[in-house]
A and B are shown apart, each in its own frame.
Chain A
């Protein structure tokens, strides 16, 4: 299927066509990222002006004699000394007038000041690229970004440790031990994927509330130390590909079952363990429902996802701040993905291959 004969012009044309279509789809698919970056660097003024450019900009200014003067788009043939020039140019307005105004050409300082027969009211101002970085500092300060980062990182790291610890043990138990009822228990484990969350959420929440855990991170972190279906499944699939001869050789040398896990299975399973790690860090980083129900009463413990969701209310009329906040929230998972792409993409394949 993969062999493409490059000498065949029809095949080359199809390759070109398919690749171009995919590229266009991809650009549309990822365009919200550009929207986010552009909007997060705009001023509130630019957003409210109809017909303003889509990139961050402000009306042009020019530094003239130590003062900031506004730049306007002027038809040059209205100006003294350039009546034959039919182009338009961005000129700095030195003196405003309704009949005629005095200008200075930033590209041609030799010419000095000159008068044009235009009313400043009738002129457009060109836009100049001007990112408003202060949106980021404003969001940073309003939501106490460092604390949110710390809360989210803390949750991600502790729960990932929990998942790695518990799922490795459980996956080892399911992949390397033969005992009656094992397959049934594994089926029960898989079946938990299909259980609607709300069937367990109400009693679990009520229970955590009774023992005073609501408002703390404990209801989110402690259960990760008891395994979950997806990660156990992924690790078990991987462990089963490791030849049993390796276990048996270690057993001959008198290694205990735990020792075999530690020095045979785990060293062989770095790709799968890394996949679980990156998946879970991203999962915890992005988790919204858990922190929402257990932490909504405790503002100091909020992770970034919950804090970000309140932006809709706080900054409803200021999209530039919403987009700046969104960018700050997605930066870390994005960087992690860039660094560990392979593990994400391969991890899925491990789970997907077995139907």
Chain B
């Protein structure tokens, strides 16, 4: 999927269209007919809303007491307010702003989200693992559990008083006063969210495993003949061969982390508790629109988010040529 994205495609020219035979035109008509559900859906549910939200972001548009205010063009006002919004940038004396909260959590969650599935996939791919198929299925299974249920299960496990994790910690001799207060403690709430997210590992694990299984065996044989050790084989054979899959997951994780907000919405009721530490950027955006019904400011925030994700994605695609290896790609 990504190989194509990074290479780009050629757009049809008008000349090419004129030169088409009637058979070709018929083919085009039928093809467009078949993809028309998506084409129409894309225009109605994606393209027009994108334009509309860009338009909204230059207006003053909100709902007060259930009544839509008459839209007023305000130019860049929303963007200027946003760039000075203390909730986003400077935060308060206790917590950083929403943008920095998102970044901070992302830096904790990203390595886990990338290396946990990779580690599990390597384990599943090990020739020394008996019953690999059953293990794969079992590690994947929690992925299909409803998100809210999974949060409640882990929330129970991490309950400071009655949860099994603190019970185990106390069983290992940790005194009652020093066990973590998990979701209620500013210093522990991000690790709590990371733990609550590990059940989603199954999907990435299977994608990475498919990548590992696609590595031709003769490459391993050749490395063995050359006398490469386990680490050298991983660095010079396994990793380059699965780098497209790692790249794919990396991009998806980063895009997901920028938009992270459902867990704090459910766990801490979207209030930002404890001490404002969970007022993620996207949660603030959600509240701006759904709680305070400010459509124009919400749209401006959505565009800032979009812009930041684009920058990071473009940057990642730029780095790809240094570390992502596409087998069979012709390099010119």
Residues of A within 8 A of B (CB): 1-4, 11, 14-15, 17-19, 22, 25-26, 29-33, 35-36, 39, 47, 54, 165-166, 169-170, 172-174, 176-207, 223, 225-227, 232-233, 257, 261, 282, 285-286, 288-289, 293, 304-305, 308-309, 311-313, 319, 322-323, 325-327, 329-330, 333-334, 336-337, 341, 344-345, 348-349, 351-355
Contacts and interface: CB of A to CB of B under 8 A. Distances in A.
B262 A22 contact: no
Contacts of A169: 34-35, 37
Given A26-B139, A198-B302, 9 more contacts: A36-B153, A169-B34, A173-B31, A180-B28, A192-B42, A194-B251, A200-B53, A202-B295, A312-B266
- The residue among B136, B142, B163, B198 with the most chain A CB atoms within 10 A of its own CB is B142
A16 to B, nearest CB: 9
A333 to B, nearest CB: 5
A323 B295 contact: no
A195 B156 contact: no
Contacts, number: 293
Interface string B288-323: 011000010011011101100100010000000000
Given A14-B128, A36-B156, A345 B138 contact: no
B42 A323 contact: no
- The residue among B44, B56, B144 with the most chain A CB atoms within 10 A of its own CB is B144
B146 A305 contact: yes
Mostly helix, strand, loop or mixed at chain B's interface? helix
Contacts of A233: 1
Contacts of B285: 198
B192 interface: no
Given A170-B37, A354-B1, A18 B32 contact: no
Given A1-B220, A170-B34, A188-B42, A199 B50 contact: yes
B198 to A, nearest CB: 8
Interface in B12-51: 12-13, 16-17, 20, 24, 27-28, 30-42, 44-46, 48-50
Contacts of B48: 203
26 contacts: A15-B128, A18-B126, A22-B129, A166-B38, A169-B34, A170-B37, A180-B20, A180-B28, A195-B50, A198-B282, A198-B301, A200-B46, A201-B289, A202-B56, A204-B49, A227-B38, A288-B266, A309-B148, A313-B269, A322-B156, A325-B152, A326-B153, A334-B145, A345-B136, A352-B210, A355-B2
A227 B126 CA distance: 38
A198 B206 contact: no
B157 A32 contact: yes
Interface in B258-286: 258-259, 262, 266-267, 269, 282, 285-286
B146 A196 contact: no
Given A173-B33, A203-B52, A180 B306 contact: no
- The residue among B16, B30, B128 with the most chain A CB atoms within 10 A of its own CB is B128
B3 interface: yes
A15 B128 CA distance: 4
B144 A333 contact: yes
Contacts of B172: none
A19 B138 contact: no
Nearest to B13: A180
Nearest to A350: B210
User: Ordered nearest first, which 7 A-B pairs have the shortest CB separation?
Assistant: A226-B41, A177-B31, A173-B34, A180-B12, A355-B244, A203-B52, A179-B28
Interface string B119-161: 0000100111111000111111110111111101111110100
A185 B37 CA distance: 13
A344 B145 CA distance: 13
B326 A355 contact: yes
A353 B206 CA distance: 10
A196 B285 CA distance: 12
Interface in B53-80: 53, 56
Interface in B201-239: 203, 206-208, 210-211, 214, 217, 220
Contacts of A180: 12-13, 16-17, 20, 28
Contacts of B31: 173, 176-179, 182
A194 B36 CA distance: 21
Given A184-B11, A197-B259, A202-B289, A348 B207 contact: yes
A26 B10 CA distance: 48
A200 B298 contact: no
A330 B144 CA distance: 9
A176 to B, nearest CB: 8
Contacts of A200: 45-46, 49-50, 53
B49 A203 contact: yes
B309 A329 contact: no
Contacts of A206: 295
B238 to A, nearest CB: 11
A196 B53 CA distance: 12
A288 B262 contact: yes
A254 B106 CA distance: 57
